[in-house]
Amino acid sequence: MKQLTTDEKYMRQCLKLAKRGLGKVSPNPLVGCVVLNKYGKIVSKGYHKKYGENHAERDALLKLQNNEAEGGTLYVNLEPCSHYGKTPPCVDLIIEHKIAKVVFAMRDVNPKVDGVSKLESAGIEVVEGVLEEEARFLNRIFLKNMTQKMPYVVLKTATTMDGKIATEAGDSKWITSDSARKEVYKMRKEFDCILTSSNTIIADNPTMKHKFKCILDKDSRISPDSEIFKQGKIYIANKENTILKNDKLDLEDVLKNLYKQGIYSVFVECGGNLGGAFLKEGLVDEIYQFIAPKILNDNTGLSCFNGDKINFISDSINLEIYETKIITPDLLIKSFVKRNSKFYF
């Protein structure tokens, strides 16, 4: 394994601290901070704990007495902020504490933020780009939200080894194991919203315990007595509140409407037609595919992605796998959808 430089070692700690905020800081980024005194000893650590509360730098610096960090170095995985939001600018506090050097991983894409010039005009040395790729990966949802004004979309599917999600008659219970399905319950918690179609609601009448659900129901077919209405908030996308495209709900418009309602990440759980449409429209950022060690071996079986006819393999949608995990006996593959090499990290 590659040896980490001293800067990278402390930045790794920042990234680890940042992750403690997972699920609690949205739509803010995940940020961690480590402060060293002028002798190179860690004197404080902090992280952004909750939306609206102290930023990582403030969390760390407020734990310090007098000028404990004077002449020291502050590590943080995001460019320190310079604006008044729900909290005052972190750069002001860094200057007050007479920090000599700030090392950060990535620039803040929030147009209100220009911490670098403020730090430099105060005579503070600034080093940027340490573990930048890891930092951008960690905050990919924030990066997409800020730059595209759209929620980050992850599509989940559970298939046989031949990519089938059900028999022709619709039998799908169960392709993956109990442990894989438990993993899905955990995953859902990481997202602001679960999105599914009215077909799923009509076929399974699921409870879907989640704080926010979006159901695509163009013709308002689902019954108001469905279990889904019994918990959490729901946004029903139908032809009254969503633009139509080729007589179908415009999926991009649905996502934009969700963003306007404060939904920053969406977990799509659906069948092959909707999954195929989301992919074709280029609206999916990641795919989580569970694969069971089973082969249906039936060409009438339903596929996980049912787009239109494609003649050339070179017209495939390309993915980049970034994580694989065996959830015995199944396999989970997490991948990014590559489109025009437009990644957010």
Residues that bind Zn ion (CB under 5 A): 55, 81, 90
Long-range contacts of 230-239 (CB under 8 A, 24+ apart): 231/207, 232/208, 235/193, 235/261
| Beta pairing partners, 127 | 103
- Which of 49, 92, 110, 183 is close enough to bind ligand AOF by CB under 6 A? 110
Binding of residue 217 to ligand AOF (CB under 6 A):
no
71 Rama class: left (phi>0) / alpha (psi -120 to 50) / beta: left
Whether 57 is catalytic is yes
Q: Which residue in the list 8, 57, 120, 128 is annotated as catalytic?
A: 57
Q: Which residue has its beta carbon closest to ligand AOF?
A: 85
Q: Which is nearer to ligand AOF, 51 or 185 (CB)?
A: 51
Binding of residue 78 to ligand AOF (CB under 6 A):
yes
* Other beta carbons less than 10 A from residue 94's beta carbon: 25
3-state secondary structure of 7: helix
Single-letter code of the amino acid located at 245: K
Return the range that interacts with ligand AOF (CB under 6 A); candidates 86-94, 183-191, 288-296, 335-343: 86-94
Q: Which is nearer to ligand AOF, 113 or 165 (CB)?
A: 113
Binding of residue 106 to ligand AOF (CB under 6 A):
no
- Which of 29, 271, 272, 301 is close enough to bind ligand AOF by CB under 6 A? 29
| Beta pairing partners, 46 | 33
CB of 317 to Zn ion, least distance (A): 38
56 binds, among ligand AOF, Zn ion, none (CB under 5 to 8 A by kind): ligand AOF
Helix or strand run (H / E) with residue 76: strand 73-78
CB of 79 to ligand AOF, least distance (A): 7
- Which of 12, 45, 48, 213 is close enough to bind ligand AOF by CB under 6 A? 48
Q: Which is nearer to ligand AOF, 138 or 292 (CB)?
A: 138
Among 36, 98, 39, smallest CA distance to 66 is for 98
Alpha carbon distance 18, 21 (integer Å): 6
208 Rama class: left (phi>0) / alpha (psi -120 to 50) / beta: left
Among 197, 253, 207, 261, smallest CA distance to 230 is for 207
Among 191, 224, 228, smallest CA distance to 209 is for 228
86 binds, among ligand AOF, Zn ion, none (CB under 5 to 8 A by kind): ligand AOF
Binding of residue 85 to ligand AOF (CB under 6 A):
yes
Alpha carbon distance 225, 202 (integer Å): 11
Q: Which is nearer to ligand AOF, 86 or 209 (CB)?
A: 86
Q: Strand pairing of 101-106 and 125-128?
A: parallel
Interacting residues toward ligand AOF by CB under 6 A = 28-29, 31, 48, 55-57, 78, 80-81, 85-87, 90, 108, 110, 113
State the catalytic residues: 57
